[in-house]
Structure formats: structure tokens, C-alpha cells
Amino acid sequence: MSDASRQITALTTKLSGSADERAAAAEALAQLGNECADACIPLVRACGTDELTREWAAAALEEMGPPPEACIPGLLELTSDPSGSVVYWAVTLLGRSQAAGACNVLAKLVDSKHEDFVRERAVWAIRRIGCPAATVQQALLEASQSVNPRLARFAKEAIT
């Protein structure tokens, strides 16, 4: 195991610690940029904690490219988390990964009672992945009629 891998493992462990430890670990991971991609699952989970940790975890995730393929099952699981921030980031990384296996889950999120920012991100991920129309069409049609103009616009753009 390389020094960088050991550092990431140690920081990932601290994401389960006290609020101060979580925030410091998320900040340190954010400073590593895309090198922290293997920590994507704990970072996404950290988005459901205190505000400072959530901000640093989001900063780390913003700098990250597509997640490693091994993270896809964990990200799919996190789409059912009760925290909208956790679901948002799981969906974001699924979209970046262009994981075609996520299309059914994303369609359910578009058609869900989640916050609009989660539903909008699910539409974004559907477009990014290029999900087959048959899989997502009904959810997008319903979202295109949303009272939220932004969600409706995103859904209409995804249909065309």
C-alpha cells in the first residue's frame, strides 16, 4: 500500500469520528483532489452529517472526476439514504460514472418525493448517462409537468 493510500485510508476512518475529526478529514481529502476518489463512498455519507463536514466533503466531491467502478454498487445503495445531500452526491457521481445500470434508480428518483434539487440532479444524471428512453420516459414526462420550472425544463430537455 502506498503512502497516499495509507493517508486516504486513515482520513476515511476519521470521517466516522467526532464532528471535529470528520471536518478535518473531509478538508484534508478535499485538498487531495481526484486522488481521493477511492474515498467517494465515505465522502458521500459525510454529506449527511454536520454542516462543516458536509461543506468539506462536498468540496472534495466537486474536485473528483468519475468514481472508481468498484464504488458504483455503494453509490446505488446511497440513493436511498434519508439525507437529500447524500442522495444528491450519490446521483452526481453515478452521472459522472455514466453507469448505465443506474438508469432505473435514477428514474425512480425523478418520480419521487425527494427535494427538487435531488430530482433535478437525477434528470442531469439521466442525460449524462444517456439512459434508454424506455427506461426513463414516464418519469421524465411527469417531471416535465412539474410546478418547479427548473425541474420541468430539465426534464423537457432530457426528453428531446
pLDDT of residue 112: 86
Q: Is 6 buried (19+), middle (13-18) or exposed (0-12) by CB count in 10 A?
A: exposed
Query: CA-to-CA distance for 14 and 49, rounded, in angstroms?
Result: 13
Lowest mean pLDDT among 1-5, 85-89, 145-149, 153-157: 1-5
User: Is pLDDT at 123 greater than 80 in this prediction?
Assistant: yes
Query: CA-to-CA distance for 45 and 112, rounded, in angstroms?
Result: 20
pTM exceeds 0.85 for this model: yes
pLDDT of residue 1: 63
Lowest mean pLDDT among 41-50, 80-89, 115-124, 129-138: 129-138
Q: Which residue has the higher pLDDT, 107 or 111?
A: 107
Q: What average pLDDT does range 61-69 have in this prediction?
A: 94
Q: How far is CA 89 from CA 14, 62, 159, in A?
A: 20, 9, 23
pLDDT of residue 157: 92
Asked if 127 and 157 touch (Cβ cutoff 8 Å), the reply is yes
Evaluate the CA torsion angle 146, 130, 86, 75 in order and state its sign: positive
pLDDT grade, residue 134 (50/70/90)?
confident
Cell numbers found for residue 58: 462536498
Rg (CA), the chain: 16
AA identity, residue 104: N
Q: What average pLDDT does range 35-57 have in this prediction?
A: 95
Lowest mean pLDDT among 1-15, 45-59, 75-89, 131-145: 1-15
